[in-house]
Structure formats: C-alpha cells, structure tokens
Amino acid sequence: MDSHSPYHMVFPYMFLGIIILSFLSPWSLLAMEKQDLSIANVYADSKSFTPENQEYFILHFTLSETAQVTLAIYDSLNREVRTLLDSISLEAGNHQVTWNGIDNTGNILPQNYYLYTIEATNADGQHVRYDPSDLTGGKQIGIQNIKYDKVEDNVFFTLQQSAIINLRVGLVAGGPMMTTLIDWLPLTGGNHTVAWDGRDNTGTVDLKNVRKLEINGPAYSLPMNSIILEGKKHLLRPEFLPVAQTTGNIRPVVTDPMKRMMYNHWQHPRDKCYDPEVAISFPADQGYTEDGIVIIDGPTKITLNTNIADRQFLLEQRFEIVLYVDFLFSHEEEAGYLPYFWTWDPHGIEGVHYITAMLRGYEGHFATHTVKVFVGKKQRN
C-alpha cells in the first residue's frame, strides 16, 4: 500500500504554479523596473581619416530599443557642419554610420578635429544624448622624444594620444622665442615629423648650430568623441575660415567645473588661442646696405606693430613687450600697447647685430620678430 497521499503529490505543482502566476500578474509586471533607453558601445574604427584619399570615418553604436536617432558632426567652435542622421528610426541593436568628411553643402571640410554626438528618443518620449565632449579631453600631456635633425630639416616627436599641440622654438637662459612650428593644431597619438629649415619665423636667423636651442610646447588631449580630418591644407587655421558651411546649430556645451586658468589653453576659445604676428619697422628715411640690411648710425626710433585683428586679440588678454639685442635681454614694457615706439642707442657697438621683439601674452600666446641691422657709417643707397 502506497503510504503517500495524493495531496502530497499535488502540492509541489501547486506551489510552482503559484510562483509562475505571481510573475505573470499585472502587479508584478508593474513592479519590474523598465529598462531605460541607452546608447552604448560607441567607438570609431580610427582616430583620423583623409577624405581626399577616399577614406571614411566609420562610427559604431548600440541602441537598447527602437528610437528616433540624430547624429551630428561639429567643428572645433561647436558649430554643426554635418547632419548624418536626422531623427531616423533605428531598431534596437548594433549600428554603424559612415562619413566622408563632407559638410551639408557638399564641400570637403578643412583639416581639423571634429566632434560627433548621438541623440535618441523612444516612443515613450525618453531622450538620451551621447556627448562626452566637455567631460573628456583637455588633459595636459607631454610631447615626448623631441629630436631635431638639422640634416634632414625636420623635428621628430611623439604624442601619447590625440591632442591639440603647440610647438615652439626658443633660446634657453632667458632668450626669446624664435618661431612657432605648430600653432594649436590637432594630431593623432603616435610618432610625428614636422619640417623645419632651422630658421626663425622671418627667415633672418639660422638656428641650426645654436647650442642653447629649445624645442618644446604644451599639448592637450582631445575628447573621446573626436575625429581628426586630415589631408586638406589651408594657409589659415580652420577656426578662421568662413562659416558658410555650418548648419547654424550650436552644440550645447556643459559648463566646465574646472576653475578658469589663464595658461590652460584647452579652456581658451579655439579662435582666441594662437600665436599672433608682430613686425619691426624703422623710419622711412632709414638707410640700407647694398644687400638690404638696415643701417643704424646713432639713436634710432624703432616701431613695433601688428595687424588690427591681432592687436585687438593681444589687448583683450593683455601682454608685455620684451626687446633683445643679439638675443640678450635689453628692454621690457610690462603694460604692452601697440603701436609701440622704442629708441635704441647702439653706442659702443659696430657691425652686424640682431634686434628681436617678443610680445608675451598673459594667457600664454607669443609673437616674435627679428631683424638684422648694420651698426656704423656706411655708403647708403
């Protein structure tokens, strides 16, 4: 005779059924937390590309559910230059989008770094945005392994990661800055070579054999959602080019929680961060040697000036003027203004000499100009 009651056999199945029903009940479904809309696994196949070589930028991302998606490209001034997706319905899952470096008007954009953002809105109206532009990047990093090859006429260096960099050549031990090789342009991480013929920015001074030469400069890492477009060269920096190619939309900027620091170039507006120009001139009746060198035969009025745009730029940030003779400190004007007049008396010296004017902005921007002069009496043209 079986000692087990039928009730004993039914009870386990009843218990299992209660558990299943509890999960299927509307109250339990309401208690279960609904998964939020998300944009995940965002990455690009490369950190740079060259449109003129028929290369493409390929971006990957994952949606947690079906949503209307907008994907936009912005330049370094946060102006939208291309809309790749405009409220396009995409299903949940993995997606990829390609960009050929062309703006909305069909023109190839200039060499620069660009920022991509993704926005998604689901059927319930939930909205998410992928834009780490203001939360990543901007970390000051070192430029490593700087080497000058005066035979090959180039400077070699290494970057740990993609960054905007400034590379200057100057003289150590209190000497002037002589030229800017790279003026806050974006480069990918890795090894780089920049051509340099060994001369200052005016071509006046040959620095190849100067022992006190220093080549250095700061670099700031680019945001994780940046892409560098290469290959289209311009004489002007991209920030100063006409804005006709933009859509008119501006990327919403998250307020930087960091304290504003004058020498933090990443915190500067990109169109307000560059090394300006300055020029040295002499009186109209000044004499010249047969090979075009200015003749100085007594106290001489020297004028420093720049173009209107650079003058305003320097005045806004304030600057000081430092003058050098033969690359040694000679005179300083802490409260700089332009045009600036300086009377130089070369008493006691003769022959060929060099005058360098350096404008040093209080936010870390420099202008420099060097002229060769002949001191003494000589036949004038």
Are 36-135+223-272 and 279-375 the same fold in CATH?
yes
Output the six-digit token pair for 251: 């990327």
Q: Which helix (H) or strand (E) holds 89?
A: strand 80-90
Mean pLDDT of 219-246: 83
pLDDT tens track for 162-196:
999 999 999 998 899 999 999 999 999 999 999 99
Topology (CATH level 3) of domain 279-375 = Immunoglobulin-like (2.60.40)
Q: What is the pLDDT of residue 118?
A: 98
Output the six-digit token pair for 183: 């003026």
| Choice between 378 and 352, residue whose per-residue pLDDT is larger | 352
Q: Domain spans of the chain?
A: 36-135+223-272, 139-221, 279-375
Buried b / exposed e along 197-225 (16+ C-beta atoms within 10 A): ebbbbbeebebeebeebebebbbbbbbbb
C-beta pairs of 50-56 under 8 Å, 24+ apart in sequence: 50/101, 50/229, 50/230, 50/231, 51/100, 51/101, 51/102, 51/108, 51/109, 51/229, 51/231, 51/232, 52/108, 52/231, 52/232, 53/231, 55/101, 56/98, 56/99, 56/100
Q: What is the pLDDT of residue 245?
A: 67
Q: State the pLDDT confidence band at 243, using cuts at 50, 70 and 90.
A: low
Reply yes or no on whether the pLDDT at 25 is more than 80.
no
Q: What is the pLDDT of residue 375?
A: 95
Topology (CATH level 3) of domain 36-135+223-272 = Immunoglobulin-like (2.60.40)
| Choice between 15 and 96, residue whose per-residue pLDDT is larger | 96
Reply yes or no on whether the pLDDT at 330 is more than 70.
yes
Out of 27-41, 253-267, 338-352, the most confident range is: 338-352
139-221: CATH number: 2.60.40
| Choice between 111 and 262, residue whose per-residue pLDDT is larger | 111
Reply yes or no on whether the pLDDT at 16 is more than 60.
no
pLDDT tens track for 26-84:
434 443 455 789 999 999 999 999 999 999 999 999 999 999 999 999 999 999 999 99
pLDDT tens track for 121-157:
999 999 999 999 999 999 999 899 999 999 999 999 9
Reply yes or no on whether the pLDDT at 327 is more than 60.
yes
Mean pLDDT of 356-380: 90
Q: What is the pLDDT of residue 188?
A: 96
Neighbours of 369 (CB within 10 A): 22
